[in-house]
């Protein structure tokens, strides 16, 4: 299934105009809030966050990854992680443009979490509102696709088992007039394009189809950066968020990339 980054953008970014349309000499500071599919690579998980911070930020742009293994929209708040993120918005907003990416869903959807889709949506809305009240810019992120495939038709396609959380994230963004990027749709289409054999090379360990190794973090961190650049084009034009040219071409052409 061939896809292009242009088609991903058409479906994967919000229709909201960027609130920052003019060239700005103040660099961004990205604070990443989320579960293990955002978090730093470890024995228990790992997501796109470090790849985004370490390979796409330039010219004084910086970031911190607060992704937490096992986190839900409830535990991230109750455990104190969210208070830390908000305190960092207050700390950095004077010298930087503070952005907070917010991506949950993988653990919220589990029956053991006892979080309804309505509660999940409300929790995301509250996160977004609190970032704005603290002086930052929230970006809601639909959850990264798992790399589980259905081959019942003879063409392997990703099982879209986060569809409800994707829709809820977009609804939360629309309800709060917040920008969002549709990472779920974009990652699903890219994984469908490259197929399971290549997709599995991004697994944290061979049988882990959820978490990313370092190389996978760079690929999907680059995808996140490309989607953010689409929604906040001044970040790209000002040289703050840039995707490796070879990776960007691979994403544009729906081809496998290994850093």
> Has residue 6 got a pLDDT over 70?
no
Asked, for residue 259, whether it belongs to a domain, the answer is: no
**In the predicted model, is pLDDT for residue 247 greater than 90?**
yes
pLDDT digits (tens, 9 = 90+) for 128-167: 999 999 999 999 999 999 999 999 999 999 999 999 999 9
| CATH number of residue 169's parent domain | 3.40.50.1110
- Give mean pLDDT, residues 241-247: 98
Please tell me the least confidently modeled range out of 23-27, 104-108, 114-118, 122-126: 23-27
pLDDT at position 208 is 98
Find the domain containing 38 and state its range: 5-18+27-253
Q: Is residue 202 part of a domain?
A: yes
Q: Which pLDDT score, from 0 to 100, does residue 4 have?
A: 52
Is 83 part of any domain? yes
Check whether 102 has a pLDDT greater than 70. yes
Nearest one of 213, 223, 214, 230 to 248, comparing CA atoms: 223
Task: Give the tokens for residue 31.
Answer: 């604070």
| Predicted local distance difference test score (pLDDT) of residue 100 | 98
Per the CB < 8 A criterion, the answer to whether 211 and 36 are in contact is yes
Tell me how far apart the alpha carbons of residues 82 and 125 are, in angstroms, rounded to a whole number.
Answer: 14
Domain presence at residue 258: no
Q: What is the pLDDT of residues 22-61, one digit of tens each?
A: 447 899 999 999 999 999 999 989 999 999 999 999 999 9
pLDDT at 201 over 50: yes
CA 190, CA 11: separation in Å to the nearest integer? 13
Q: Is residue 164 part of a domain?
A: yes
Query: Could you give the 3-state DSSP secondary structure of residue 56?
Result: helix
The pTM for the full model equals 0.93
pLDDT band at 64 (very low <50, low <70, confident <90, very high): very high
Q: Is residue 14 part of a domain?
A: yes
Residue 2 has pLDDT above 60, yes or no: no
d(CA 58, CA 152) in angstroms, rounded, equals 44
User: How many structural domains comprise the chain?
Assistant: 1
pLDDT for 44: 86
Q: What angle do CA 225, 1, 227 make, to 5 degrees?
A: 15
Q: How many helices (H) and strands (E) does the chain have?
A: 11, 7
Q: Which two tokens stand for residue 19?
A: 């609130």
């Amino acid at each position: 299934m061939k896809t292009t980054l242009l088609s991903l953008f058409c479906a994967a970014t919000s229709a909201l105009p960027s609130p920052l349309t003019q060239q700005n000499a103040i660099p961004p500071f990205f604070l990443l809030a989320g579960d293990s599919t955002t978090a730093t690579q470890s024995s228990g998980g790992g997501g796109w966050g470090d790849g985004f911070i370490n390979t796409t930020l330039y010219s004084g742009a910086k970031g911190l990854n607060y992704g937490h293994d096992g986190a839900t929209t409830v535990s991230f708040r109750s455990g104190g992680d969210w208070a830390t993120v908000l305190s960092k918005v207050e700390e950095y907003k004077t010298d930087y443009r503070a952005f907070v990416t917010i991506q949950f869903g993988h653990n919220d959807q589990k029956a053991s979490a006892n979080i309804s889709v309505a509660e999940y949506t409300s929790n995301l809305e509250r996160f977004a509102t609190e970032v704005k009240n603290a002086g930052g810019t929230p970006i809601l992120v639909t959850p990264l696709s798992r790399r589980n495939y259905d081959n019942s038709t003879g063409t392997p396609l990703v099982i879209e088992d986060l569809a409800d959380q994707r829709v809820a994230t977009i609804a939360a963004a629309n309800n709060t007039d917040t920008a969002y990027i549709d990472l779920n749709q974009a990652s699903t289409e890219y994984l469908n394009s490259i197929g399971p054999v290549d997709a599995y090379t991004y697994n944290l360990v061979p049988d882990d189809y959820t978490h990313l190794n370092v190389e996978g973090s760079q690929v999907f961190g680059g995808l996140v950066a490309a989607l953010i650049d689409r929604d906040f084009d001044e970040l790209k034009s000002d040289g703050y968020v840039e995707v490796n040219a070879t990776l960007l071409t691979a994403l544009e052409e729906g081809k496998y990339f290994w850093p």
